[in-house]
Structure 1
Amino acid sequence: MMLTNLDLVELTAFRRELHRFPEVSGEEVETAQRIVAALTVLSPSKILTGLGGHGVAAVFDSGVEGPTVLFRAELDALPIEEKNSKIDYASEIAGKSHVCGHDGHMTMLLALGRVLARQPVAKGRVVLMFQPAEEDGSGAKAVVADPAYQEIAADWAFAIHLEPGRPFGYVSTVPGLINCASLGLTIKLTGKTAHAADPEDGVSPARAIAELIPKLEALGTGGALDEAFRLVTLTHVQIGEPSFGIAPGDGVIFTTLRSTHDAGLEGIETAARALAEAAAQTYGLGVDFEVTDHFAASINAPEAYEVAIKAMETLDVPYGDAGVPMRASEDFGVFGWGAKAAMLCLGPGEDYAALHNPDYDFPDDIIPIGTAIFERIARDLLGSAQEP
C-alpha cells in the first residue's frame, strides 16, 4: 500500500509543525497531544497515553491470534539552540530544537499508521510506540516498567534512526551490538575553602582531581568495538570558583563511561567509584556520586535482523554495515530485553549535516523509504487482511 501524494504533503506539513514546537525529555506534553490527535483519525484499536511519562502507543489489532510487532519513534527534542536560516519552520522555542530527527521518526510512524488503517494486518497486532525521554536514556525503561505496557508487550521491536554520513536511502545495520551502553557519572568532592594566603587552613580537592584524571581515563581507552571495549571520556572538570583569593574547597568531575555491554559498563562504574573514594580518603575529602543519561546497550537480535534484511531486499533498499556498530548510545535496546529487536540506521546523504548540530533538519523526502521498510516488516510478520 503506497502513500499518496496527498499523504506526503500532509505528513511533511505535520513533521514541520513538530519541528517548530520541540519539547525536551520529560516535557513532551504538547508533542504527545499532537500525536494523539493525528492517530485518532486513523481509528486504531486502542490508544494508550501517559506511558512512562508522556509516551503514546497506538495499537492496530487484527483480532486474530499472532505476535505483537512494535515500531518505535521518540517524542523528545534537544536542549540546543537551532541555527538554520535555510528553513522557514525553525524552532519557535528558545534553546530547544529537533536536531536529532525525532520529528521525522514520529512522522514515519504516523505514515505507517495511515497505511495500516487502509490495509490491516491479517494476524497479531502492530504497536506504534512514541516513547518519551530518549535523549537522557530514561524513556524506554520508564515505558517498559509502566504496568500499562504489559497490555502491549512486544514480541518483535524495530526502530529507524536517521544517521548522516551514509548515502541517501542506504541502511546500516548488523546483527549483535548496534549501540554501546553508556552513562554519565558525576563525582563531587567536598573539602573546605580557605584564604589563598593560607591554603593549609582548608582542604582542597585539587590534588585528588589531578590524580583522578589520568586514572579515570586509564579505565577505558577505546579501541575496537569488541567484548573488551571500554571508553572513559572526561567532559567537565571544575575546582572551586574563579577567584585568586580563595583556595578551593570543592570540585567536580563529569565523565562518560562506555562499553559494548551492560555488564562491562557496570564494571567501569564500580572501578571509577572506587578510585574516587580512595582519592577522597587520601586527601580528607567527602565524595558523592550521581548517575545520569544511563543507556543500556542496544543489541540487534539475529532473527529481527534477518526480518529487516528480507524486507529491504524485497524493496531493493541498499544496506550494509557502514559505520556500525556505533560508540554512540540509544535507549531502544531496552525494548530488546523482552522482544526480538533491531535498529536500522537510515542514510540521508553522505554530506548531510551531522546529528545534534544546530543546522540539522530531517529530510522529508526520506519519509516514504522509512515507512516502506516498516510496512514490509509488518506484512512479512503479520500478513495483510483480505480486501473487503
Structure 2
Amino acid sequence: MTLTPQDISALTRFRHALHRQPEVSGDEAQTAQRVQAALAALGPDQIVTGLGGHGVAAVFSGAAPGPTVMIRAELDALPIPERPGPAHRSEVEGVAHLCGHDGHMAIVLGVGRVLSRDRPARGRAVLMFQPAEEDGSGAAAVLADPAFAALRPDWAFALHNMPGLPLWGVQVSAGPMNCASCGMRLRFSGRTAHAATPGTGLSPDAAMFELIPALRALGPGGALDPGFRLVTLTHARLGAPTFGIAPGEGELWLTLRSLSDADMVALKAQAQDLAEQAAARHGLGLQITWHDDFAACHNDPQATAQIEAALTAAAIPFGPTDGPMRASEDFGRFAGNGTRAAMFLLGAGEDSPALHDPRYDFPDVLISPGVSAFRAVLRQILG
C-alpha cells in the first residue's frame, strides 16, 4: 500500500500549514492540535495526547499479538527568523521550521494514512509526535510521562532529512550517530566600581579571560573518534555597556560536546572544577546552571539491521553514513529498557542550505520516499 497522488498533495498542504505557524520547544499546542485532528481522521485504534507536554501518539494495532514499533517525528521549530522565500514562509515573527520537523511530521502522518488502509498483521505501530526536541528536553519528558508506559516500544525508528546528501539518498549505520551535548552557563558576581578607580571593585574579567582558553582546551575538537570532545563558547557578557562603570558581574555560555555519555560526565565535571577554581582564586561568587542536555545517540545493531533488511526488501537504495554527527539529537533517549532504536538519514540535496540556515525549507519531494522507507520497516517487523 503506497501513497496516492491525492495523499501526497494533502500531505504537502499539511506541511505548508505547519511551516506557516511554527512553534518553539514546549509551546507546540497549536501544532499538536493540528496533528491530533489529522490523525483522528485516519481512525487509529488509540490517540494519546499531552505526552511529555504537547506530545501526540497514534496507535494502529494488528490482528495478532506481536511487538510494538514506534516511528517518531518532532513537533517543534526554531527561534530563528526565516529569510523570505517560499509562499508558505513562516507567519510567526522570529520562529521558523528550519530543521525540517514540519517535513518529518508530514512523513509520519503519511505513514498513518497508509496504516489506516492496511493495518499491520501483528503487534502495534505507534506514531509518536514528540515535543521539544530542539532543546533536548522532549524525549526525556515523554519517557517520564506515566502514559508512555503503555506505549513503550520494542523497536523505535526515526529519520532526519540531511542537506549535503544527494536528494532521496538514504544512509544508515550501526553505532554512534549523534554526539552528546550540554549547555553550561557560568554567572560570576563581584562588585562594581567607578571606572576611574576600578581597584575599589571586584571585576570578573580576569577570571573569565583565564577560563575561556582553559575550557576550550578541555574539548579541542578534531576527528569524531572515540574520546572526541569539543567546548564551544557561544556567548559572553561582562558588566553593563557603559564607560563609567567597572563591571561587577559577567556570564559565559558554553556548549560541551562529546561522542559518548561517559565522556560527557567527565567533561562536565572537569569544566565545573575549572570554573569553581577560577572563581575562588579571584574571590568571585559563581552560579553554574546546565541547559539543553542531549544524550548521545547510538544506532542499535539489531535495529539498524531491521532498517537495512526492510530497505533491501523494498528495493530502496541505501548506503552507510559518513560517520557520527557533531550535532545532537534526543531520539537516543528512547533506546534501552527493552527498546532497540535506530535513525536513518534522508538526503535533502547536495546544494540545499544547511539545517538551521534561515533559507532552509524541507523539500516536499522527500515526503513520499520517507513514507516508503518507514512503511518498509513496519512491514519487515509487523507484516
Q: TM-score, structure 2 length as denominator?
A: 0.98
Deviation at 1:169, TM superposition (A): 1.1
**Which amino acid in 2 is paired with 1:90?**
R
- State the match for 2:181 in structure 1: 182
1:203 is aligned to 2:202: yes
**Which amino acid in 1 is paired with 2:194?**
H
**Which amino acid in 2 is paired with 1:378?**
L
Deviation at 1:311, TM superposition (A): 1.7
- State the match for 1:386 in structure 2: none
Matched ranges for 1:150-169 at <5 A: 150-169=149-168
Q: Deviations over 1:40-74 (max 9, x none)?
A: 01111100000000000001111421110000000
Distance 1:353 1:313 in 2: 30
Displaced runs of 4 or more, over 3 A: none
Deviation at 1:253, TM superposition (A): 0.6
Q: Could you tell me whether the CA contact under 8 Å between 1:191 and 1:249 is conserved in 2?
A: yes
Distance 1:240 1:58 in 2: 50
Matched ranges for 1:306-345 at <5 A: 306-338=305-337, 339-345=339-345
Aligned residues: 382
Distance 1:337 1:229 in 2: 23
Q: Deviations over 1:247-292 (max 9, x none)?
A: 1101111100001111111111111111010001000000001111
Distance 1:82 1:61 in 2: 39
Matched ranges for 1:1-388 at <5 A: 1-85=1-85, 87-338=86-337, 339-383=339-383
Q: Could you tell me whether the CA contact under 8 Å between 2:173 and 2:321 is conserved in 1?
A: no
Q: Could you tell me whether the CA contact under 8 Å between 1:166 and 1:322 is conserved in 2?
A: no
Q: Could you tell me whether the CA contact under 8 Å between 1:169 and 1:317 is conserved in 2?
A: no
Distance 2:97 2:345 in 1: 18
Distance 1:218 1:174 in 2: 31
Structure 2 residue matching 1:320: 3-state secondary structure: coil
Deviation at 1:225, TM superposition (A): 1.7
Distance 2:321 2:40 in 1: 38
Farther off after superposition, 139-148 or 169-178: 169-178
Q: Deviations over 1:208-229 (max 9, x none)?
A: 0111011100101112222211
Deviation at 1:322, TM superposition (A): 4.1
Distance 1:28 1:356 in 2: 18
Structure 2 residue matching 1:373: 3-state secondary structure: helix
Q: Could you tell me whether the CA contact under 8 Å between 2:204 and 2:249 is conserved in 1?
A: yes
Distance 1:337 1:24 in 2: 28
Deviation at 1:320, TM superposition (A): 2.2
Q: Deviations over 1:341-373 (max 9, x none)?
A: 011111011111111111111111111101001
Q: Deviations over 1:198-244 (max 9, x none)?
A: 11111110110111011100101112222211111111111111222
Distance 1:350 1:318 in 2: 17
Structure 1 residue matching 2:254: 3-state secondary structure: strand
Distance 1:221 1:80 in 2: 28
Distance 2:107 2:306 in 1: 19
Q: Deviations over 1:78-99 (max 9, x none)?
A: 11111132x1111111111111
**Which amino acid in 1 is paired with 2:204?**
P
CA RMSD of aligned residues (A): 1.0
**Which amino acid in 2 is paired with 1:337?**
G
Distance 2:373 2:193 in 1: 63
* Identity between Structure 1 and Structure 2 (%): 54
Structure 1 residue matching 2:2: 3-state secondary structure: coil
Farther off after superposition, 45-54 or 360-369: 360-369
Distance 1:58 1:373 in 2: 19
Q: TM-score, structure 1 length as denominator?
A: 0.97
Q: Could you tell me whether the CA contact under 8 Å between 2:26 and 2:132 is conserved in 1?
A: yes
Structure 2 residue matching 1:222: 3-state secondary structure: coil
Distance 1:37 1:8 in 2: 18
Q: Could you tell me whether the CA contact under 8 Å between 2:188 and 2:250 is conserved in 1?
A: yes
Distance 2:265 2:314 in 1: 41
Distance 1:359 1:151 in 2: 40
Q: Could you tell me whether the CA contact under 8 Å between 2:26 and 2:53 is conserved in 1?
A: yes
